[in-house]
Amino acid sequence: MKVHKGIRTGGRSARVQKAVHEAVHELLSSHDREALTVPMIAQMSGVTPSTIYRRWGDLPSLLADAALDRLRPDDDPVDTGALATDLKQFAEAYLDETGSELGKTMLRDVVASGDNGTTMRCAEIARCRLAVIVERAQKRGQWTPSVDQLVDGIIAPMTYRILFDRQPPTTKELFVMVDRCLIREKAEKPKD
């Protein structure tokens, strides 16, 4: 399975992508995921099934691509004025998107697509948003952990619990993960 990776901006291609992604999200909110078909999505988005097959290859790849779209909001993460609260706001929003039954299905679609490009784009979305938060803190003159450390300490345990455990973390548990990233790095600092 392969997801189309090129970024096409503007024109018919962008309109098709937007319409098809919107149709997927709307259908997923009203139908059981197993009930979705390519012709159904084509009809709702006003394109032909062959357009979908040509662009996305198959249904699982389209679902994975649409899932990533949900994780990539247009706006930068909220600026609360401090690193810890910026991270908590972002982590909570990310948990909202991925911790629901639908969110879990989206993450599963991304992994099941078996396409390294798709899974890496998923990791890259979180990484880019964390990079914005870290850079902002550094401009304020605050010490920060690295983006990789934040992925390991927040995104990874959240995702592991969603995919492998019965329950996603609670908001409280999530905030403990954020605090730990900050505490632990301070504890390591004197060693440098």
Asked if residue 24 lies in contact with residue 62, where contact means CB atoms within 8 angstroms, the answer is: yes
CB of 158 to its own copies, least distance (A): 8
Asked if residue 113 lies in contact with residue 3, where contact means CB atoms within 8 angstroms, the answer is: yes
**Residues 87-116 contacting its own copies, CB under 8 A:** 108, 111-112, 114, 116
10 Å CB burial of residue 164 (0-12, 13-18, 19+) is: exposed
Residue 72 or residue 161: which is nearer to its own copies going by CB? 161
Residue 8 or residue 184: which is nearer to its own copies going by CB? 184
10 Å CB burial of residue 30 (0-12, 13-18, 19+) is: exposed
Asked if residue 147 lies in contact with residue 178, where contact means CB atoms within 8 angstroms, the answer is: no
Our finding on whether 31 is near its own copies (CB under 8 A) is: no
CB of 102 to its own copies, least distance (A): 14
Residue 30 or residue 164: which is nearer to its own copies going by CB? 164
Alpha-carbon span 8 to 172, nearest angstrom:
40
**Residues 146-185 contacting its own copies, CB under 8 A:** 151-153, 155-157, 159-161, 163-166, 177, 180, 183-184
CB of 110 to its own copies, least distance (A): 8
How many residues make contact with its own copies (CB under 8 A)?
29
Asked if residue 38 lies in contact with residue 52, where contact means CB atoms within 8 angstroms, the answer is: yes
- Give the interface with its own copies as residue ranges (CB under 8 A): 108, 111-112, 114, 116, 119-120, 122-123, 151-153, 155-157, 159-161, 163-166, 177, 180, 183-184, 186-188
